[in-house]
């Protein structure tokens, strides 16, 4: 049986799905091929975004990064060649560098809008304010250790970070992460719904074994998985649950009565 034949029938063919109840080995093979396909398509989309976005970010770094020299020594940051306080505002974030103030610098003084996050650099710490959850995190300079950098070094790192090689590595890592997440989350869903419908089937005295319900579930996951890729993120879980539950009902419970 070819993968695409199984893919086609898994979308709608209840009779075919029920007939796969003993086809456990192919069900596992089909499930992993399906996850690879979905993860691969998502990764291709991400890869194009990476290649489109990377040159833009690199250009911004080159154009807007000022001349500076920074050194962390004995837990204190010193920045030279930069007029301070240095404030750079973007659409959703503001970067503030103030290592010359002799008093405590309050990050809240730089918040100009409710949806604006702040990255504050002082002589003692890095402080980040997240506008979404209204939280603040701090990294003490003493925890970083002695370090020295300047504009030239940052630009060299930007060349490496936004190179084609690094983008390809990021794309591969994205595929692995997506594959693992999709595999684990969907196996959990199949296991949960298989147990649920097996329990109902037993109560109704239908001739289903748990292994058979689980095997059918590995095929039935096709349509809700594909549909969830097109749904808005907010509704993704609900779309999956509703569609998958309906399909499992017609395959395991409803059609069994007709037979």
Same domain, 242 and 183: yes
Task: State the Cα–Cα distance between residues 40 and 51, nearest whole angstrom.
Answer: 16
How many Cα atoms occupy the beta-carbon half-sphere of 103 within 13 Å? 2
Instruction: Report which secondary-structure segment, H or E, holds 159.
Output: helix 151-161
| The model scores a pTM over 0.75 | yes
Task: State the Cα–Cα distance between residues 121 and 107, nearest whole angstrom.
Answer: 9
Asked if residue 235 lies in contact with residue 223, where contact means CB atoms within 8 angstroms, the answer is no
pLDDT for res 259: 38
Q: How many domains does the chain have?
A: 2
Residue 58 resides in a domain = no
**pLDDT at residue 233 greater than cutoff 60:** no
Q: How confident is the model at residue 212 (pLDDT cuts 50, 70, 90)?
A: very high
Picking from 114, 145, 176, the residue at the C-terminal end of a domain is 145
Residue 8 resides in a domain = yes
Strands (E), the chain: 69-73, 76-80, 86-89, 93-98, 117-122, 125-130, 135-140, 147-150
Residue 69 resides in a domain = no
Same domain, 35 and 83: no
Task: State the Cα–Cα distance between residues 205 and 25, nearest whole angstrom.
Answer: 26
Task: State the Cα–Cα distance between residues 85 and 96, nearest whole angstrom.
Answer: 7
Residue 16 resides in a domain = yes
Residue 249 resides in a domain = yes
Same domain, 116 and 82: yes
Range of 110's domain? 75-145
Positive or negative torsion for Cα 155, 59, 173, 93: positive
Residue 17 resides in a domain = yes
Same domain, 176 and 248: yes
| Residues paired with residue 80 on neighbouring β-strands, in sequence order | 69
Same domain, 249 and 124: no
* Percentage with pLDDT > 70 across the chain: 95
Nearest Cα to Cα of residue 251 among 4, 20, 6, 73: 20
Residue 32 resides in a domain = yes
Summarize pLDDT for 104-160 with one digit per residue, the tens. Answer: 777 877 877 778 888 989 888 888 888 888 888 888 888 888 889 999 999 999 999
Q: What is the mean pLDDT of residues 169-195?
A: 93
Residue 61 resides in a domain = no
Summarize pLDDT for 56-97 with one digit per residue, the tens. Answer: 999 988 998 889 899 998 888 999 888 888 888 887 888 889
């Amino acid at each position: 049986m070819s993968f695409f034949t199984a893919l086609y029938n898994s979308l709608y063919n209840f009779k075919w799905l029920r007939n796969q109840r003993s086809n456990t080995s192919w069900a596992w093979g089909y499930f992993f091929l399906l996850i690879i396909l979905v993860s691969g398509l998502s990764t291709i989309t991400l890869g194009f975004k990476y290649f489109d976005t990377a040159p833009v970010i690199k250009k911004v770094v080159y154009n807007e990064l000022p001349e500076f020299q920074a050194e962390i020594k004995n837990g204190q940051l010193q920045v030279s060649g930069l007029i301070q306080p240095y404030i750079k505002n973007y659409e959703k974030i503001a970067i503030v560098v103030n290592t010359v103030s002799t008093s405590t610098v309050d990050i809240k003084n730089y918040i100009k809008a409710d949806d604006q996050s702040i990255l504050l650099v002082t002589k003692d710490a890095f402080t980040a304010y997240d506008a979404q959850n209204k939280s603040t995190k701090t990294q003490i300079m003493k925890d970083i250790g002695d370090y020295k950098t300047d504009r030239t070094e940052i630009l060299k790192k930007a060349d490496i970070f936004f190179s084609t090689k690094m983008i390809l590595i990021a794309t591969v890592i994205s595929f692995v992460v997506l594959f693992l997440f999709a595999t684990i989350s969907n196996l959990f869903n199949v296991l949960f719904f298989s147990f649920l419908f097996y329990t109902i089937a037993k109560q109704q005295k239908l001739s289903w074994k748990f292994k058979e319900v689980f095997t059918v579930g590995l095929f039935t996951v096709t349509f809700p998985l594909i549909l969830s890729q097109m749904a808005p993120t907010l509704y993704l879980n609900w779309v999956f649950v509703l569609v998958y539950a309906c399909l499992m009902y017609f395959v395991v419970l409803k059609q069994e009565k007709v037979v």
